[in-house]
Amino acid sequence: MNWIKKTLRFGEKIKTIIKARATKTEIANSDWTSCCKGPILKKDLEENLWVCPSCNKHHRISPRQRFDIIFGKNNYEVLKTPIPQDDPLNWNDAKPYKDRLKAARKKTGMDCGMMVVNSNIHTLNITAIASDFDFVGGSIGAAEGEAFLYGIQHAIENEQPFVVFTSGGGMRMMESLISLSQMTRTTLAINELKKNNLPYIVVLTDPTAGGITASYAMLGDLHLAEPGALIAFAGARVIQGTVREELPEGFQRSEYVEKTGFVDLIVERKDLREKIGSLLSILLKKNSAINSSENETSEDSRALTKAAS
């Protein structure tokens, strides 16, 4: 009888899983979503920049939605980035990696999890990049690494500041060491950007975790964050299990991370455009002054050398 009971329980479990998946699909296709006070029309949420008017929760948005907010509706050029070979390791788990990529591309309309654009704020030309959490959890693989490097190269060639909007759970396990190597590649690319005295601003959005936090997300000249964004490396439960202490309230949220010095400013989504524009203006003027000072020093040195000879 025991095996019959186990079989029946297993059948009920399968039904529960199927029902939960169906519910998620229904919610995704519905005109409604949920927040603090229950159902809310997506249209109303969109009019408020996908921020809940009651609790101020900044809901996750796609790169296109974000760029529409920052630069204006379709006021940007989407840059075509290189796409390397899919599934170089022939990865299989619950389903083939190639099928996951196919589903993610269909869902997001993107070739990879990052979108690079060329646009402007006021009179400042900017190269920007944003991740889509709906594309395999915003994780980073070879294609995303290529997109990031392409964006940096575009910024250097056009002498533009580089702004990144982070989102994702870290490096993509289906690409193993190929994925982990993107941490080094993005870091080296950022170093090249800084050698050219071009500003690098990071905007941390919910969630930013794992290898993303351990690489390009924490190398900015300035770090901005949206309210309530999860910013972490390891998960809170893992940390609590390691230190065996109660963690502070709001641990790993942007407000707490700001207090510990890893975030410079917390900025509401509605204020991001003006804040980024203002900060870039200051950084570009500062870099220009440094360059002028270096040129003057160089000319003074040549004059002194000529006089001595």
Q: What is the pLDDT of residue 26?
A: 66
Averaged pLDDT, 241-254: 90
Burial of 85 (0-12, 13-18, 19+ CB in 10 A): exposed
User: Tens digit of pLDDT for each residue in 85-130?
Assistant: 999 999 999 999 999 999 999 999 999 999 999 999 999 999 999 9
Angle subtended at Cα 35 by Cα 29 and Cα 38, rounded to the nearest 5 degrees: 90
- Residue 114: CA count within 13 A, CB half-sphere: 27
- β 38-41/32-35 pair status: antiparallel
Number of C-alpha atoms within 13 angstroms, CB side, residue 250? 11
Output the pTM of the full model.
0.85
Return the percent helix, strand and coil in the chain, to nearest 5.
50, 20, 30
Determine the Cα–Cα distance for residues 114 and 205; give it in Å rounded to an integer.
Answer: 14
Alpha helices in 158-271 (DSSP H): 176-195, 236-243, 254-259
What's the pLDDT score for residue 289?
66
Give the confidence band of 217 by pLDDT, cuts at 50, 70, 90: very high
The per-residue pLDDT of the chain, averaged, comes to 89
Whether 276 has a pLDDT exceeding 80, the answer reads yes
Give the CA dihedral 210, 214, 115, 160, nearest 10 degrees: 170
Are the C-beta atoms of 200 and 190 separated by less than 8 Å? yes
Which residues 6+ apart lie within 8 Å of 111 measured at CB?
Answer: 81, 83, 105, 143
DSSP secondary structure string for all residues of 125-176: EEEEEEE-TTTGGG-B-HHHHHHHHHHHHHHHHTT--EEEEEEESSB-GGGH
